Amino acid sequence: MEIIRNLEEIKGIDRTAVALGNFDGVHLGHQELIRETVNRGEEDGVKSAVFTFSNHPSNIIPGAKAVKSILTEDRKMEIIESLGVDYLFNVPFTEELMDLEAEDFVTEILVGRLNVKTAVCGFNYQFGARAFGTPEILEIYGEKYGFDVFEMAPFEIDGKVVSSSLIRLLISKGYVDRCARFMGRNYEVGGEVVVGNRLGRSLGFPTSNLNIDETMVTPPNGVYTTYCDYKGVKYPSITNVGVKPTVGTYEKNIETHIFDFDKVLYGKHITVEFLKKMRNEEKFDSLEDLSSQIVKDCEKAKAWFSER
150 and 219 assigned to the same domain: no
CB-CB contact of 294 with 203 (8 Å): yes
**Where does the pLDDT of residue 138 fall: very low under 50, low under 70, confident under 90, or very high at 90 and above?**
very high
pLDDT at 203: 58
CATH code of the domain covering residue 291? 2.40.30.30
Q: Is residue 169 included in any domain, yes or no?
A: no
pLDDT at 223 over 60: yes
Mean pLDDT score, 75-102: 95
pLDDT at 191 over 70: yes
155 and 202 assigned to the same domain: no
pTM for this one? 0.91
pLDDT at 150: 97
Q: Is residue 166 included in any domain, yes or no?
A: no
CATH code of the domain covering residue 37? 3.40.50.620
CA neighbours closer than 13 Å in the CB half-sphere of residue 38: 16
Mean pLDDT score, 130-139: 95
245 and 112 assigned to the same domain: no
**Distance, CA of 304 to CA of 296 (rounded, Å):** 12
123 and 29 assigned to the same domain: yes
**Where does the pLDDT of residue 202 fall: very low under 50, low under 70, confident under 90, or very high at 90 and above?**
low
**Where does the pLDDT of residue 200 fall: very low under 50, low under 70, confident under 90, or very high at 90 and above?**
low
237-279: per-residue pLDDT in tens? 999 999 887 877 778 899 999 998 888 888 999 999 999 999 9
pLDDT at 198: 57
pLDDT at 197 over 80: no
Mean pLDDT score, 155-169: 95
Three-state SS annotation for the chain: CEEECCHHHCCCCCCEEEEECCCCCCCHHHHHHHHHHHHHHHHHCCEEEEEEECCCHHHHCCCCCCCCECCCHHHHHHHHHHCCCCEEEEECCCHHHHCCCHHHHHHHHHHCCCCEEEEEEECCCCECHHHCECHHHHHHHHHHHCCEEEEECCCEECCEECCHHHHHHHHHHCCHHHHHHHHCCCEEEEEECECCCCHHHHCCCCCEEEECCCCECCCCCEEEEEEEEECCEEEEEEEEEECCCCCCCCCCEEEEEECCCCCCCCCCEEEEEEEEEEEECCCCCCHHHHHHHHHHHHHHHHHHHHCC
pLDDT at 178 over 60: yes
pLDDT at 21: 95
pLDDT at 243: 86
- Mean residue pLDDT of the chain comes to 92
Domain that holds residue 73: 2-160
Q: Is residue 181 included in any domain, yes or no?
A: no
Pairing, β 16-20 against β 156-157: unpaired
pLDDT at 4: 96
CB-CB contact of 102 with 121 (8 Å): no
19 and 143 assigned to the same domain: yes
40 and 151 assigned to the same domain: yes
53-76: per-residue pLDDT in tens? 999 888 888 877 889 999 988 999
Q: Is residue 88 included in any domain, yes or no?
A: yes
60 and 114 assigned to the same domain: yes
Mean pLDDT score, 211-226: 94
Domain boundary among 160, 194, 217: 160
As for how many domains the chain has, the answer is 2
Q: Is residue 148 included in any domain, yes or no?
A: yes
Mean pLDDT score, 22-27: 94
63 and 211 assigned to the same domain: no
Comparing CA positions, the residue from 181, 183, 127, 184 lying closest to residue 151 is 127
Q: Is residue 113 included in any domain, yes or no?
A: yes
**Distance, CA of 217 to CA of 189 (rounded, Å):** 10
Domain boundary among 118, 143, 160: 160
Q: Greater confidence, 36 or 206?
A: 36
Q: Is residue 171 included in any domain, yes or no?
A: no
Q: Is residue 179 included in any domain, yes or no?
A: no
Most confident option among 20-29, 63-72, 208-217, 256-265: 20-29
pLDDT at 117 over 60: yes
41 and 133 assigned to the same domain: yes
CA neighbours closer than 13 Å in the CB half-sphere of residue 86: 18
Domain boundary among 142, 160, 178: 160
**Where does the pLDDT of residue 201 fall: very low under 50, low under 70, confident under 90, or very high at 90 and above?**
low
155 and 200 assigned to the same domain: no
202 and 130 assigned to the same domain: no
Mean pLDDT score, 159-167: 95
**Distance, CA of 70 to CA of 170 (rounded, Å):** 11
248 and 290 assigned to the same domain: yes
pLDDT at 35 over 90: yes
